Amino acid sequence: MTKHTIHWTKTDEAPLLATYSFLPMVQHVARAAGITMELADISLAGRILAAFAPEQHPDALAALGDLVKTPEAIVIKLPNISASVPQLQAAIKELQGQGYAIPDYPEAPKNDAEKATQERYKKILGSAVNPVLREGNSDRRPIPAAKAYAKANPPKTAPWAKDSQTHVAHMDGGDFFAHEKSTTISAATTAKIEFADQGGAVTVLKDALPLQAGEILDATFMSVKALRAFIKEQMADAKAKGVVFSLHLKATMMKVSDPIIFGHVVEVFLEDVFAKHGALLKDLGANPNNGIADIEAKIAGHPKEAEIKADIAAALAKGPALMMVDAKKGITNLHRPNDVIIDASTPPIVRWGGQVTGPDGAEHDTKAVIPDTTYAVFHKAMVDDARASGGFDPATMGSVFNIGLMAQKAQEYGSHDKTFVAPADGTMRIVADGQTLLEHQVEAGDIWRACQTKDAPIQNWIELAVNRGRITGAPVVFWLDAARAHDAQLLQKVNARLGALDTDGVEIHILPPAEAAHFTNARVAKGQDTNAATGNVLRDHLTDMYPILELGTSAKMLSIVPLMRGGALLETGAGGSAPKHVEQLTAENHLRWDSLGEFAALAAAFDHLGRQSRNPHALLLGKALNDATTRLLGEGKSPGRKVGDLDNRGSHFYLLLYWAQALAGQTEDLRLAAAFAPLAQALAANEDKIVAELHAGAGTPADIGGYYHPDDAKAGQVMRPSATLSATLAETLAKAA
């Protein structure tokens, strides 16, 4: 690992396929400028193999986790799968089919060996990658070229009707918000999490929990009784109003709590089914936390399969109409927990006039159910403001830059190993040095969790927000609610730090999330920009919501994570891993994934490397790449959605062409210009031939040798079908290297 190395991550689904096409191009160009691009496999399949077949597959995520704590780190992190249990099981099955001797995931461990296997797999579930790599806070903003393009070519939206019945519903008590308790640790110590039943018996749920001086420690729980009563009320209200019921959770990032909430919603919807078949479903291992799809899979082939399916259909018909993920296939909002993720499912509601797809395949108003108040208020404010204004206009709206507190597993996204279901009525508590730090009286089944937010990331976040305010000239809004226990603790630190910093010329506001959203939306409507300084979860929600409204996708975000030790983590937008894109590629050999996020992150990486190591070639590569990206958008060379359009591979070719031409045409380094002139000339001369070769297989199925773990040779052939392009790259840049 040298100072002239950039680490590119191998992830999943569409970004992985795009990597097969784009990374070899980047490696050739970078090598000519004395820079090495190294590939690190942090995909879901790669993480499984690292855990269970380390001799064959080293743990690249752990290696990167060490690297990001050094000043030399420059890592480009593409979107990856935050796996749910069904996705994990599918990946395991695929790997086993490829000959890897890895164990099944034991949903209900029967012995210590199976418990140990489950624990190893649990470390792979959900947001397993981000907490390891995010040793810095987030600075996310729209790619300038993408913003300019969106203003000139605004993405499609639908107007809101004034009488729209679409609304957000959340609990008004009994949820995580209502029960949260928080404290700031005065001195370093080691704590443990205990459960004490009503008879006084104590079970240690987590031992040796290290706590740092100055860090904020939270604990809270959601009452399952209150949750189930709330769901029943919302079902009845949705049916009475004639609107579609839609559930919005984050069952991937919140990999312990939210699948449980999801499971309760499934059970309430299918109450009659569980009353009649509950014992059988339990015996078959059907888990409502994994959705209706898991129930259907577990009853397949059973003598009562048809009866249970009929009862499921009857239960769904009895309740309100459900939002559909795929109406043609009958896949509902409750089919799988990872099908509808809140930060990608509520923005389209705002964008498309409050409409969602119902069971009839038509668009309808919806009751968007977000059980926990903590973040539901943001989505409610977005829906309410959109209805009041008629919607957001991407041609004129301002941008929302985000400064997100996320370093070192900050806030709820670091709660996975501290989330438990209460085994009985009793007390959940965190104790240290013989003292109880936080405690709650809970009932059997309640979902309790604790999380930590260390002081150093908080201080860094505050400084980053002030700096961004000074650089952009836009106001900084800290989204903090004094009525929330955690935020009250955080506010003390924010106020103290702001008092010590030079904030002259920086407009700063501190507002609760709903008020912050209304304030920001009023500015957005006037075309004004705003810096939103938020916690970890709101960061995730905002950096999908606003980009989807203004750019059409959150993949067109520049996501810079200035690492606290001096390195840089560049995340390629927040657009997910686009599983439907893979389906289209394998069916039609057309990949519509837009690599704009990769282009922006790579340019930022070159810029950081150039400044850090005083490498002028790296600076020129970054500048030329930004110029090429702007030209790519202006020339309309982004991927299209349909077969026959230019796809991801064609877009990569044009980016390379424009990049080579920009490097060949610059006058700051004539030797570098001369090195890239042959490539620019050859690509331009062979443009028609290369594009024809890239389109040659369009419209026919493509075999990549696996979904979660593609065959490198097969996927490489599919994603690099132009022999002319490959030869041109190798031949023209060989001497330059």
pLDDT band at 234 (very low <50, low <70, confident <90, very high): very high
429 burial class (0-12, 13-18, 19+ CB within 10 angstroms)? buried
Contact indicator for 533, 476 with CB cutoff of 8 Å = yes
Q: What does the pLDDT read at residue 577? A: 78
Look at residue 627 and tell me whether its pLDDT is greater than 50.
yes
Q: How far apart are the C-alpha atoms of 584 and 528, rounded to whole Å?
A: 38
H helices, E strands: number in the chain: 27, 24
Q: 322-362 pLDDT, tens per residue?
A: 999 999 999 999 999 988 889 889 999 999 999 999 999 99
Helix (H, G, I), strand (E, B) or coil at 280: helix
Q: What does the pLDDT read at residue 574? A: 62
Half-sphere exposure of 199 (CA within 13 A, CB side): 3
Residue 553 CB partners (closer than 8 Å, separation 6+): 155, 547, 573, 575, 594
Tokens found for residue 298: 């577990």
Q: What does the pLDDT read at residue 1? A: 33
Q: What percent of the chain has pLDDT over 90?
A: 88
CA distances from 120 to 63, 127, 211, 554, 633 (A): 18, 14, 24, 32, 44
The candidate with the shortest Cα–Cα distance to 70, out of 461, 409, 564, is 564
The candidate with the shortest Cα–Cα distance to 361, out of 339, 329, 337, is 329
Helix (H, G, I), strand (E, B) or coil at 418: helix
Q: 497-515 pLDDT, tens per residue?
A: 999 999 999 999 999 999 9
Mean pLDDT, the chain, rounded, equals 94
Mean per-residue pLDDT for 433-459?
97
Q: What does the pLDDT read at residue 2? A: 42
Q: What does the pLDDT read at residue 495? A: 97
- Looking at the DSSP bridge assignments, the partners of residue 77 are 571
Look at residue 243 and tell me whether its pLDDT is greater than 70.
yes
Contact indicator for 154, 395 with CB cutoff of 8 Å = yes
Contact indicator for 310, 273 with CB cutoff of 8 Å = no
Mean per-residue pLDDT for 629-653?
95
Q: 385-412 pLDDT, tens per residue?
A: 999 999 999 999 999 999 999 999 999 8
Q: 557-601 pLDDT, tens per residue?
A: 888 999 998 999 999 866 667 888 999 999 999 999 999 999 999
Helix axes 373-389, 536-551, angle to 10 degrees: 20
∠ CA 654-657-661, rounded to 5°? 140
Contact indicator for 262, 84 with CB cutoff of 8 Å = no
Look at residue 303 and tell me whether its pLDDT is greater than 90.
yes
| 125 or 528: which leads in pLDDT | 528
pLDDT band at 3 (very low <50, low <70, confident <90, very high): low
Q: In this structure, what are the phi and psi dihedrals at residue 161, rounded to the nearest 5 degrees?
A: -80, 140
Tokens found for residue 167: 């609304």
Q: What does the pLDDT read at residue 557? A: 86
Q: What does the pLDDT read at residue 127? A: 79
pLDDT band at 93 (very low <50, low <70, confident <90, very high): very high
Mean per-residue pLDDT for 193-220?
97
Q: How far apart are the C-alpha atoms of 397 and 386, rounded to whole Å?
A: 13
Q: What does the pLDDT read at residue 736? A: 60
* DSSP3 helix / strand / coil % (the chain, rounded to 5): 50, 20, 30
Q: How far apart are the C-alpha atoms of 172 and 160, rounded to whole Å?
A: 27
Look at residue 4 and tell me whether its pLDDT is greater than 90.
no
Contact indicator for 253, 413 with CB cutoff of 8 Å = yes
Q: 714-731 pLDDT, tens per residue?
A: 999 999 999 999 999 988
Q: What does the pLDDT read at residue 737? A: 55
Q: In this structure, what are the phi and psi dihedrals at residue 168, rounded to the nearest 5 degrees?
A: -100, 135
Which domains, from first to last, does the chain contain?
5-155+456-734 (3.40.718.10), 167-173+223-393 (no CATH)
Contact indicator for 307, 294 with CB cutoff of 8 Å = no
Which amino acid is it at 506?
Answer: V
